[in-house]
Amino acid sequence: MLLGRVIGVVVPCVVAEGLAGTPMLCLQPLDQEGRPSGRAIVAADATRMAGPGELVYYEGGREAALALDPWFVPVDHTIVGIVDGLHLDRGGAA
């Protein structure tokens, strides 16, 4: 899983079978310091509670689909949790 920041909401009008009602959010992937990393993606939201501005973690690939119900659906990234606290301590390892 990786960290991401929700930057928007996508409202599709026609979706593949099984995806009706699944929230779709614009997500900016972040690096381990919380800085934007790479291009924004669209992710399904398995928590159904994430919104713009929130820090989340998301899964990609087959596991992205497994987080949804029904699970056999065509998605490649899914938000699986909203971050309450992120405690980084590099402890001189860098």
Partner 1 sequence: MILGRVIGEIHSTINHPFYDARKLLVVERTDAAGTPAGGYVIAVDVVDAGVGERVLVLDEGNGARQVFGSADAPVRSVVVGIVDQVFLAP
CA 87: distance to chain centroid?
Answer: 19
Q: Which CA distances in Å does 76 have to 33, 46, 92, 94?
A: 24, 12, 36, 32
Is residue 80 a contact residue for partner 1 (CB under 8 A)?
yes
Minimum distance of partner 1 from residue 84's CB (angstroms):
5
Which amino acid makes up residue 86?
L
Residues 12-71 that bind partner 1 (CB under 8 A): 31-32, 46-47, 49-50, 57, 59, 61-64, 66-67, 71
Shortest CB 14 distance to partner 1, Å: 25
